[in-house]
Chain A
Amino acid sequence: MSYGDLEVLRGIDIDVVPSELVFIIGPSGSGKSTLLRCCNRLEEPDSGEIIVDGSSITAKGADLNAIRQRIGMVFQSFNLYPHLSAGGNVMLALRKVLGKPKAEARQIAEAALERVGLADKIDNYPNQLSGGQQQRAAIARALALEPKIMLFDEPTSALDPELVGDVLNVMAELKQAGMTMVVVSHEMRFAKAAADRVIFMDGGVIVEQGAPANLFANPQHQRTRDFVRQVEH
């Protein structure tokens, strides 16, 4: 993966097993978000192969739109559609991609919003929701499509500190329900509590990875040690 002459990712090889929560940490510019976006081809890798749920998404002629339904993504800046209510945000892909009738889409949206604790906000527009509520609505939008895996790109970085907990709680519940998740985030406490594996990236490569307890307590590389010390202050 590269932008012009700048190689952003090199030699990345990761396996994520079902129901695993993989946490990716690293300094900014280390390629974490790019790696995540390669996983549903919002970014085009120059070479290599990405296999999701048994099918190669980098294969020639792969049906990207069909594949992306199975890969939920949550963004740092929420990216809710401002012209649609919370319910409308969740229903759009259900109606347009899956072709569900309106009533059924609404039921699914209600259930998805219920799951993130926003059942009463279905008719509220994004500008009527707090940041944490917007991010949970964005999670509901992805969940409604029943993805096999969820990608979280710094889901709490744009939130006020007191709103972070609600979003992390929803993510913890997803983990408990057996969702496969890849999370790019700086929430180290959440990583320690919920992650099965932590990957430390720097300069576009995976420096080291391991169970959170090991990686945080006993990092093998100097770069990892420096980074962990910095973020843990």
Chain B
Amino acid sequence: MTQYERFLDTFFNPEVMANYFPKIVEGLLVTCQIAFLVVISGIVFGLALALLRSYRWTPVNLAIIFFVDMFRALPPLVLILILYFGLPNVGFTLSGYVVLWLVLTCVLAAFSEEIFWAGILSVDKGQWMASRSTGMSYTQTLLNVVMPQAIRLTIPPLTNRTIAITKNTALGMVIGVDELLNEATTAQAFSGNATPLMMGAIAYLILFVPVVYLGRYIEHRFAWRKV
């Protein structure tokens, strides 16, 4: 075997590919599903926190800031391990799937709250005054005048952050969630061959490259038209 053949046999073995293809697809679907759920719930939760924060009720804001800082500071893996291995000791068991979803949702919510909040703050004070001067309430102004402008500014950082956090679905591996990386490493162990990991990497590309392009497209479409 030449070096080149050994390389191909290790990373692109056709037999292993054929054997584990269905497992990799299964894993990809689970990853897609969790990623989708995390993106929806994380962004909605983050948006809700940012809106709530804009009312500037001190106790509520302190709680939001504490939540946000904690989930931004802690590595998601630590949270996943604590919830998955710690909670059962106090009689509270969550499945790996739920733990993964919950932790990533909270992390994405924390980051997106900060992004939405920065967007809200960046809207000119004159916009608030103009809207309030026509008799619009605080909430009406927030939803109809400020948020449409704030959201445009948040699209680029939000897209980046969403991709970064969604990739963390691979952490599900350590708590036995049947997601893509887990299926790939299991297949690698059984086959004694790195080809399934390569398939996993390709599957991640298939999943995330379109998301990256979609992000770029949205960014372009929502680019701030100069006033």
Contact = CB atoms under 8 A, between A and B. Distances in A.
Contacts of A77: 124, 126
B33 interface: no
B135 A69 contact: yes
A42 B141 CA distance: 14
Contacts of A141: 130, 134
Nearest to A96: B140
Interface stretch (A47-55, A79-87, A177-185, A207-215): A79-87
Contact of A145 (B127, B134, B148, B226): B134
A24 interface: no
Contacts, number: 71
A83 B224 CA distance: 10
A42 B149 contact: no
A190 interface: no
A40 interface: yes
Contacts of B148: 83
A33 to B, nearest CB: 11
Interface string B117-138: 0000000101101111111110
A37 B137 CA distance: 17
B134 A93 contact: yes
A40 B133 contact: yes
A82 B223 CA distance: 13
A65 B135 contact: yes
B136 A82 contact: no
B145 interface: yes
B160 interface: no
A172 to B, nearest CB: 22
B135 A68 contact: yes
Contacts of A69: 134-135
A75 interface: yes
B129 A79 contact: yes
A97 B134 contact: yes
B135 A81 contact: no
B129 A42 contact: yes
15 contacts: A67-B135, A68-B133, A69-B135, A75-B130, A83-B148, A92-B131, A92-B134, A93-B134, A93-B136, A97-B140, A127-B225, A138-B130, A141-B134, A142-B133, A142-B134
Top 5 closest pairs, chain A to chain B, by CB = A79-B130, A69-B135, A93-B134, A73-B133, A79-B126
Interface of B: 124, 126-127, 129-137, 140, 144-145, 148-149, 152, 225-227
